[in-house]
Structure 1
């Protein structure tokens, strides 16, 4: 990879995970996240508007925007063409990893087991997404998985809320924490960007050492 994920994250330890139903939401959402202190965001490819949202949020300029829930190499290609600077997948897929290498963007595959982590490490990746983190056992599961693999860095995502941040950040292997609680669909649908800003600022503050 030409750009390490640590550079893409720009020092932040919070990765908002966004499922955005409409591209009209993109600019005010980007503004709220940036004002709240976020430096990057993951736009999930779970809606028909995902590519347009990536493009609009990337154009805002206040955030480094990536694509999440990327399941195929073709999706990765479309995401990067729309402006995604990194790619996140819920699982490990060789074709997605190969396409991201070709496109020279960081890729963060999801893992839930030691076997999947070993495959990712063998592919030359040192940062993975622990997913779904809370159903898998939370920080206890992360700690157990990290112990045999000290070279691995984790971005736990899935079911995490503000009350669990300190537990995850206490683990040295955690690079960042991803979460959808920062901008849930309900807040996006009613346009409550002030609350999104508040939640983001709260998370960023608690992520500081």
Structure 2
């Protein structure tokens, strides 16, 4: 979570796009890549992106133990989920893989703490009330750190990153869906890397 200020949230429809996209993002300084399990190409994309020098590739939109196992088998180095369940957290622990579960309420955070977790994805960040809500949640849970995702843009990311409990943000603006434009994505990644933390 502290490797770069932005974790690109990636949707791969065409496997041929995976490696060029990863190369552009790594070149631009964003090596931590979250490939969402939203398409049939996702697991193969993780396998392909893992071959790119410097890329740290994980799986997002992981909702159950079966998906987690498949993602780990594909080479995922971390797991991101939109929510938090005890079975999923225990599957991540068994697999020995870093796990970033989604939370949106105090109850979610307390459940995570009970499971030994202190790092969370605040999701859907903007729809769940934005930075004021995260500030309210972070106050009683001072030991926790967050990666807001959902509605984060190049314009509002600096506000989120200025809040100390936020270690990074997740965003799709750096890696838009579709055929990658290498120069544009590398430039966008360079700009995102320079966002204040």
Is residue 5–residue 195 contact of structure 2 (8 Å, CA) maintained in 1?
no
2:182 is aligned with 1:193: yes
Normalised by the size of structure 2, how large is the TM-score?
Answer: 0.96
The runs of at least 4 consecutive aligned structure 1 residues that moved more than 4 Å come to none
User: Is 1:41 equivalent to 2:33 in the alignment?
Assistant: yes
The corresponding residue for 2:191 is 202
Alignment equivalent of 2:92, drawn from 91, 95, 100: 100
> 1:107: how far off?
0.5
Question: What is aligned with 2:60?
Answer: 68
Higher mean Cα deviation, 193-202 or 73-82? 193-202
Gaps of 5+ in 2: none
Name the SS of the counterpart of 2:83 in structure 1.
coil
How far does the alpha carbon of each residue in 1:74-123 deviate from its partner, in whole angstroms, 9 at most, with x for none?
00000011010000000001111111111100111100110011101110
Mapped contact 1:120–1:126 kept (Cα < 8 A): yes
Q: Is the 8 A contact 2:59 2:78 kept in 1?
A: yes
State which of 77, 81, 101 in structure 2 corresponds to 1:85: 77
- Which structure is higher in RCO with an 8 Å CA cutoff and minimum separation 6? 2
Is residue 19 of structure 2 the alignment partner of residue 27 of structure 1? Answer: yes
Pairwise CA distance, 1:62:
2.0
RMSD: 1.1
Which protein is richer in helix relative to its size?
A: 1
Q: Contact 2:121 / 2:149 at 8 angstroms: preserved in 1?
A: yes
- Structure 1 gaps of 5+ residues are 1-5
Paired residues, number: 197
The corresponding residue for 2:45 is: 53
| In structure 2, C-alpha distance between the alignment counterparts of 1:106 and 1:50, rounded to whole Å | 19
